[in-house]
Structure 1
Amino acid sequence: MGKEDDGLESRRTVFVTVGTTRFDSLVRAVDTQEVKEELYKNGYTHLLIQMGRGSYVPAKSTGENGSLVVDYFTFSSSIADYLRSASLVISHAGSGSIFETLRLQKPLIVVVNEDLMDNHQSELAEELAERKHLFCARPQTLYQTIANMDLGLLIPYQPGDATPVAEFINSFLGFPR
């Protein structure tokens, strides 16, 4: 490996995603000095925030004086590459973002948006947290979650085989096998 690769090996990125929603309280929470300092203290070097439709704009930083490099964007046609290169993902509670991150076996903190009506997403996040596949937080508890998280306690998520369910549904609907 050449010298130009050395910076990438030590780069540890926290990727934050709010999906297509407006979730300013999550973006505000990760933009606080205490959260950024805690992430840096835990060995993370970069914070990349996908802020969606939100109106709150986080502060960019070049990472000088012993702090995180912070950048943001609104949308991308795919967040797969961001998820793959992340060392830690902080996500809204959308099932697509959750399962895509878990499938990549990335450490995950799911932050529940309490402003949503009928928030069934919180049930999914809390169940997966209880099973120790991820950490679950609220915007106001994000700092504490990061400060107390022990990534060694997470259990890798093993997706189930959906074939029997699909076969049952196809049979029920009268489709041939």
Structure 2
Amino acid sequence: MAGLSVFVTVGTTHFDALIQAVVDEGTLEALQHKGYSKVTLQIGHGKFTPPEGQHQGVALSHFRLKPSVAEDFAAADLVVSHAGAGSCLEALQAGKPLVAVVNNTLMNNHQIELAEELANNGYCFFCYPETLQETIAKLDLSQLKLYSPGQPRLLAEYLDSVIKPVCMGRVSPMTLLLPSGASLQRR
């Protein structure tokens, strides 16, 4: 019987601390204990090259970049990702359990807010590279809610209803900036 698989992604950048945390002996033991036997790492432009082959009962393989990682997301039983918006949403939209790992070395770090918000809403777990092993060891996927994507069509319809009258000259663009009930009358 084949074990479960993990897809790890750093996106198009580099996040060596995440890759190093995943291939750490303790993290691999925690993954193996949870039933994961295969880890595929997308390492981006990182300087650290992880080992390949069997380690702690887990088969490791890696690649840097490829045109699409959709198949990797689809094949995974668990996604461990940097906490960038694109990768997190791709994992959630694919219906995959997600551990979002925050790169705390970034300035103006939007990843913290995104990861905390997703975790607070029950869509993922989040941690830092130094707490990944502990997070994996305590992983209880039954705590996660299935992510329901938004309805972008509704936003598009709303924007059309606001912008079309302006484009057709029926409404002044300035009225869009005024509070409800205000007017542009000159005094």
**Normalization by structure 1: what TM-score?**
0.88
Of all paired residues, the percent bearing the same amino acid is: 42
Q: Structure 2: give runs of 5+ residues left out of the alignment.
A: 169-187
Separation in 2, partners of 1:122, 1:107? 18
Match of 2:104 in 1: 114
* Counterpart-to-counterpart distance in 2, 1:117 and 1:171: 38
Task: State which of 96, 100, 124 in structure 1 corresponds to 2:90.
Answer: 100
Give 3-state SS (helix, strand or coil) of 1:38's partner: helix
Q: Is the 8 A contact 2:3 2:35 kept in 1?
A: no
Regions of 4+ moved over 3 Å: none
- Between the aligned partners of 1:79 and 1:137, the Cα distance in structure 2 is 23
Work out which of the residue numbers 141, 150, 153 in structure 2 matches 1:160: 150
Question: Which of the numbers 42, 49, 55 marks the counterpart of 1:50?
Answer: 42
* Partner Cα separation in structure 2 for residue 100 and residue 137 of structure 1: 18
Give the C-alpha shift of residue 147 in structure 1: 0.7
Distance in 2 (CA, whole Å) between partners of 1:152 and 1:36 is: 21
**Contact 2:92 / 2:98 at 8 angstroms: preserved in 1?**
yes
Q: How many residues align?
A: 166
Q: Deviations over 1:46-80 (max 9, x none)?
A: 011100000011111236xx610011110011000
Question: Which of 109, 123, 135 is the aligned partner of 1:145?
Answer: 135
Taking structure 2 as the reference length, the TM-score comes to 0.84
- Per the alignment, residue 58 of structure 2 pairs with 68
- Helix, strand or coil at the partner of 1:45: strand
Amino acid at match of 1:135: F
Q: 1:173 aligns with which of 146, 150, 163?
A: 163
Q: Secondary structure at the match of 2:105?
A: coil
CA distance in 1, matches of 2:86, 2:70: 11
Aligned partner of 2:25 in structure 1 is: 33
Where does structure 1 lack aligned partners over 5 or more consecutive residues? 1-6
The CA RMSD measured in Å over matched residues stands at: 1.6
Tell me which residue corresponds to 2:122: 132
